[in-house]
Amino acid sequence: MNARVLVIYTGGTIGMVPSEQGYVPEPGFHDRVQAQLESLGEAALPEYDLIELDRLIDSANLVPNDWREIALAIEQNWKTYDGFVVLHGTDTLAYTASALSFMLEGTNKPVILTGSQIPLAQLRNDALDNLVTSLMLAASREIFEVCVYFNGRLLRGNRSLKVRSSGFDAFDSPNAPWLGQAGINIDLRPDLLLPPGRPCFQIPEFDPAAVTVLTVFPGMPASLIEAAVDSSAVKALVLQTYGVGNPPDADSALIGALEVAAKRGVCILNLTQCQQGAVSQGAYATGATLNRIGVVPGADMTLEAAFTKLHYLLGLGIEGEELRQSMQASLRGELSEG
């Protein structure tokens, strides 16, 4: 039996059209896709349907509950289709890929996110190859997880990040190997792909104020941390520190502000500012200070994975020590353990 794939268009450059204000999302993408694919002739594409979100998103305007809407669209159609392609703007695509990986627990079908740097409507574009290859990947019987496909690279969704603002090779996974590569052939890495699970989707509502992010910089005042966690709505802080997880520990006021926040119950997660590598909290005395005050080491998670994982767990009502432990465990292959 041929695979059936559902394509969900959420907005983004791939389906945009020119306007006086620049590229903008526009309904009617289905017809443009159909025309492009029909121009390929008798191509061996899987059977597919395409739906559009009621409100198309310019991905720079994405909010956490947009992840919920996309996940619900997948859940509602899960039994009808063999795979899914989510067309998304590139700016926040890695956030959505990470969020979906957590909500779609026990995935036993491929969910492929893709987009483009140039719209499908333009003569010269990267959109058509990304779309066609994603359709083929979504029909695969070997992929059972949320992935990003872009410019020949198949990446674990919660390991991906946008590494180039305008290049076609916009996405990579610096802390994890590619799951596959598309050239003349599509070559997958079965040894790296997650095994199939038993679907047990958990799709919470999100409080957009629950998680905040701060990047450490030279001379950073303690008042920034105090302001960031001042609201009782803030349940978690992602702190991006230097190197292997080092803060400016000579600043007693800054460390004191972190300690006060931790004692108040804010989960503080330590990530490295480096694109590649992991937090080794305690390798230097500066990092050991964070251990003392209860900051959670974020291993080699991307910011996108850490941010969405915190939102997901908090949305499920998980807090305190359970949240701290869950953030240090690999739920969907988002971090390297051991």
Burial of 231 (0-12, 13-18, 19+ CB in 10 A): exposed
Length of the chain: 338
Higher-scoring residue by pLDDT: 22, 162: 162
Pairing relationship of beta strands 296-297 and 161-162 according to DSSP bridges: unpaired
Helix, strand or coil for residue 263?
helix
The dihedral built from the CA positions of residue 147, 28, 151 and 21, taken in this order, carries a sign that is: negative
Six-digit token string for 166: 């305008």
Predicted local distance difference test score (pLDDT) of residue 187: 98
Which one of 13, 133, 272, 308 is the catalytic residue? 13
Contact of 111 with 143, CB cutoff 8 Å: no
Q: Which of 10, 80, 90, 114 is catalytic?
A: 90
Asked whether the predicted pLDDT for residue 25 surpasses 90, the reply is no
Q: Is 241 a catalytic site residue?
A: no
Q: Lowest mean pLDDT: which of 33-37, 40-44, 129-133, 216-220?
A: 40-44
- Which pLDDT tens digit goes with each residue over 269-302? 999 999 999 999 877 887 788 999 999 999 999 9
Q: Is 13 a catalytic residue?
A: yes
Over residues 304-334, the pLDDT tens digits come to 999 999 999 999 999 999 999 999 999 999 9
Is 60 exceeded by the pLDDT of residue 76? yes
90 is in an annotated binding site: yes
Instruction: Give the residue range(s) of CATH 3.40.50.40 domains in the chain.
Output: 211-328
Tens of pLDDT, residues 175-225: 999 999 999 999 999 999 999 999 999 999 999 999 999 999 999 999 999
Full-model pTM:
0.96
CB atoms within 10 A of CB 212: 20
116 known member of a binding site = no
What per-residue confidence (pLDDT) applies to 42? 54
Q: Is 140 annotated to bind ligand?
A: no
pLDDT in the model for residue 14: 94
pLDDT surpassing 80 at residue 147? yes
Report the candidate in 88, 28, 87, 84 with the shortest Cα–Cα distance to residue 62. 88
Tell which CATH classification among 3.10.129.10, 2.40.30.30, 3.40.50.10490, 3.40.50.40 matches the domain 211-328. Answer: 3.40.50.40
Dist CA 206 CA 233 (whole Å)? 12
Domain 4-192, what architecture? 3-Layer(aba) Sandwich (3.40)
Instruction: Give ranges for CATH 3.40.50.1170 in the chain.
Output: 4-192
Residue 28: what pLDDT? 79
State how far the Cα of 152 lies from the Cα of 134, in Å rounded to an integer: 10
| E strand or H helix that includes residue 87 | strand 83-87
